[in-house]
Amino acid sequence: MIEQVLTGAVAGGTCIVFAGLGEVVAERSGVINLGTEGSMLCGALAAYAVGIETGNPWIGVLAGIVGGAALAAVFAAMVLVRKANQIAMGLVVSFLGIGITALFGQDYVGKGVVPLKTWNIPGLSKLPFFGPILFQHDPLTYLSFLAVPLVTWGLWRTRAGLILRAAGEGPEVLEIYGTSATAVRWAAVLFGGAMSGIGGAQLSTASTLNWSEQMTVGRGYVAVALVIFAGWVPYKLQLGAYLFSGAIALNLYLQAEGSDISRYLLQSLPYVLVLFVLALLSRRRIHGGPAALEQVFEA
């Protein structure tokens, strides 16, 4: 059972890892985007539909990146140009994504997907216990393993990362030195949308292998919450994503085994778990985040 649950945690958590990494970058710049859910849905539908129409799942993934970034651009335009409230506009954009994908995804419900094939790493995939958990996945899952250290390195070891964090801590300092904090935030929000699009693409073309209305079932919102739980640290976010998906995998396993526990209780378990962890950590995390975010929550 443990092996199956952990394998499901890694496979199912990949989409949240991508979305969460994008949100880490956006929030480090001083912008919180609750539209992550909508970007994930747009990425999932774009990847699924374009993959079917072209017969090439990688072109579908590219379409998912574009779809996620396009919706994020709507959010950025309203928040960074029109100065709309970030929290309210994030929810509006999320609902926009839900509506758009429900409308244009009708014709793709039940259609056979062109999947991203599983790559079994030679030698390592045959290892007992660890083989299925870590080395029998789709290529986007392996990419997520690399994305976590790369984003960490980019944030803390590069000049671009320093500029990004400065936009979230002291945007007026950037303006003094001739760098537009608004431009930095635009780039960060678009990156976040693109990463959410990749997460959605992985969900529809590698994990669930289907498209249905609102198929993310709140994963985008969970990704935003996990960013706070992780203290805006990528590897902690990764662990949080696997914890959430592990709870989902445990739920599915127990249902398949015919557990006497109410299926409604089991379905709520992952979300209750996230709420419980956030209740313990949120106060400390919020006040330890980028200074610009405190202004958002106080507005």
For residue range 72-87, list pLDDT tens digits in order: 999 999 999 999 999 9
Distance CA 284, CA 299 (A): 19
Q: Where residue 292 falls among pLDDT bands split at 50, 70, 90?
A: confident
Distances (CA, A) of 143 to 46, 80, 119: 20, 31, 12
Among the residue ranges 18-32, 244-258, 271-285, the one predicted with the least confidence is: 271-285
Q: Is the pLDDT of residue 228 over 90?
A: no
Q: Is the pLDDT of residue 259 over 80?
A: no
Q: Is the pLDDT of residue 284 over 60?
A: no
Instruction: Express as a percent the part of the chain with pLDDT over 70.
Output: 96
Q: Where residue 270 falls among pLDDT bands split at 50, 70, 90?
A: confident
Q: Model-level pTM?
A: 0.94
pLDDT, position 297: 62
Cβ atoms of 153 and 147 within 8 Å: the answer is no
Residue with tokens 């290529």: 139
Q: Is the pLDDT of residue 298 over 80?
A: no
Round to the nearest angstrom and report the end-to-end CA distance of the chain. Answer: 47
Residue with tokens 């557990």: 259
Instruction: Express as a percent the part of the chain with pLDDT over 90.
Output: 73
Other residues' Cβ atoms within 10 Å of the Cβ of residue 124:
12
How do residues 108-158 score in pLDDT, each as one tens digit?
998 888 899 999 999 999 999 999 999 999 999 999 999 999 999 999 999
Mean pLDDT of the chain: 91
CB under 8 Å to 182, separation ≥6 — which residues? 80
Q: Is the pLDDT of residue 283 over 70?
A: no
How do residues 182-216 score in pLDDT, each as one tens digit?
999 999 999 999 999 999 999 999 999 999 999 99
Residue with tokens 């017969």: 55
| SS3 per-residue string spanning the chain | CHHHHHHHHHHHHHHHHHHHHHHHHHHHCCCCCCCHHHHHHHHHHHHHHHHHHHCCHHHHHHHHHHHHHHHHHHHHHHHHHCCCCHHHHHHHHHHHHHHHHHHHCHHHCCCCCCCCCCEECCCHHHCCCHHHHHCEECHHHHHHHHHHHHHHHHHHHCHHHHHHHHHHHCHHHHHHCCCCHHHHHHHHHHHHHHHHHHHHHHHHHHHCCCCCCCCCCCHHHHHHHHHHHCCCCHHHHHHHHHHHHHHHHHHHHHHHCCCCCCHHHHHHHHHHHHHHHHHHHHHHHHCCCCHHHHHHHHC
Q: Where residue 274 falls among pLDDT bands split at 50, 70, 90?
A: confident
Q: Is the pLDDT of residue 277 over 80?
A: no
Q: Is the pLDDT of residue 299 over 70?
A: no
pLDDT, position 285: 53
